[in-house]
Amino acid sequence: MTDVEEVLSRLRRYPDVEALNLYAVDAADRLILDVAAEALTTDDSGKIAILGDAYGALTIGAIAAHDLREVRVHQDLLTGELALANNARALGFADRYTVHPLGAGLLDGVRVVLLRLPRALAGLAEVADAIARYADPEVVVFAGGRDKYLTKSMNDVLAQTFSEVRASRGRQKSRTLLVTGPKPVGSPPFPVRDRLDDLDIDVVAHGAAFSGARLDIGTRFLLQHLKWMKPDAREAIDLGCGTGILAVALAKARPGIRVVGTDQSAAAVASARATVAVNEVADRVTVVRDDAMSSAAANSADLVLCNPPFHVGAAVHTGSAIKMFAETGRVLRPGGELWTVFNSHLNYRGVIERMVGHTDVIGRNRKFTVTRSVRGLHDAQQR
């Protein structure tokens, strides 16, 4: 049998942010693999699904330990999906699993699910509903995470769709839940739709999308500056678009503008596409699943709007935001503008100035700072 610890020790997070305090594998991954070991060995091949794997530890760990051939995988985050692909290729397991959106193709007839519990309860509710809806009635879900991110509400959410939710073993500040007995399901609870009257926008949100169908207060503050954002912009990017509120607000305010929304979350992309459609701006707004905006050409945008993330996966870390600013420096045309909002204590101004160009603070309230950065000709020549 393959030495699983040796395999796990070779996993990397790349292309997600890599740093000394950020890990590709953690104690919760190891615990889920251990608790599920018996079910994985006896289970029919092809009836195993893995959801929410961070960088491939669950998928590759299960494949390596039990010589599995046909695992089905869903990861919301593109960086996780790419990291799993890189790790599986490097270790020779690339043909042992298939990637699926959250739905029937992923879960149809599945008897064992390994689930890394998502932090957002609505994200968990959508995942639980999909498992109950499509998996085999005998399905066993091994759900786990780090103690610091687990709440009693997660048990309650799971108990809405499953008749048994039992706390299983705890180890090294991690815990698993054993979830069985899918209840009958009604019409799908997601996506949800809500109206933002003051913006005249309808928002559609899948469970894992940032802020659900509500308007984040940082986004609201950024939107108050919309009319000052580069008035002659023709091509704009909503970087880390979530449900697409910024992209849609910009498109509605400026009939001539074209906007691309990008997000690495599959739930965000599906939400933003639906938000764009219901607000009837699909002729000028497109949405792509991308890591930052790696598929955008250099010097191709006049305006970037960004409410950057505070997290890299579960950890509070500025790496994702900094990656977004670096990408903005590459993609903006000379004279192009980045407008961003951040919690004032983060004090991103220096880093934005270095990576994009001259940066002014345009707005500040009790919590947030809004900045405008202009990419200079000098910056463009240096890159």
Q: Residues in the site for ligand SAM, rule: CB under 6 A?
A: 79, 210-211, 216, 219, 240-243, 245-246, 262-265, 268, 291-292, 307, 309, 320, 323
Name which of 152 and 227 has its Cβ closer to ligand SAM. Answer: 227
Q: How far apart are the first and last CA of the chain?
A: 49
Query: Cβ 200 to ligand SAM, closest distance in Å?
Result: 17
Name which of 219 and 359 has its Cβ closer to ligand SAM. Answer: 219
Name which of 97 and 210 has its Cβ closer to ligand SAM. Answer: 210
Name which of 135 and 269 has its Cβ closer to ligand SAM. Answer: 269
Query: Cβ 308 to ligand SAM, closest distance in Å?
Result: 6
Are the CB atoms for 124 and 207 separated by under 8 Å?
yes
Query: Cβ 292 to ligand SAM, closest distance in Å?
Result: 4
Query: Cβ 134 to ligand SAM, closest distance in Å?
Result: 25
Q: What share of the chain is helix, strand, coil (3-state, %, to 5)?
A: 40, 30, 35
In 3D space, the residue among 267, 213, 241 whose CA is nearest the CA of residue 102 turns out to be 267
Name which of 245 and 281 has its Cβ closer to ligand SAM. Answer: 245
Name which of 19 and 377 has its Cβ closer to ligand SAM. Answer: 19
* DSSP string across 110-174: --EEEEEPPSSHHHHHHHHHHHHHHS-TT-EEEEEEEGGG--HHHHHHHHHHEEEEEEEEEETTE
Residue 237's H or E segment, with its range, is strand 235-239
- Give the separation between CA 273 and CA 196, rounded to whole angstroms: 17
Burial label, 361 (beta-carbon count in 10 A; 0-12, 13-18, 19+)? exposed
Query: Cβ 234 to ligand SAM, closest distance in Å?
Result: 21
Query: Cβ 181 to ligand SAM, closest distance in Å?
Result: 32
Give the count of beta carbons closer than 10 Å to the beta carbon of residue 363: 16
Query: Cβ 36 to ligand SAM, closest distance in Å?
Result: 28
- Give the separation between CA 169 and CA 351, rounded to whole angstroms: 44
Query: Cβ 209 to ligand SAM, closest distance in Å?
Result: 7
Name which of 48 and 268 has its Cβ closer to ligand SAM. Answer: 268
- Give the separation between CA 109 and CA 11, rounded to whole angstroms: 30
Given the DSSP bridges, would you call strands 97-99 and 358-364 parallel, antiparallel or unpaired?
unpaired
**Amino acid in position 304:** V
Q: Which tokens in the block code for residue 221?
A: 């503050």
Name which of 162 and 210 has its Cβ closer to ligand SAM. Answer: 210
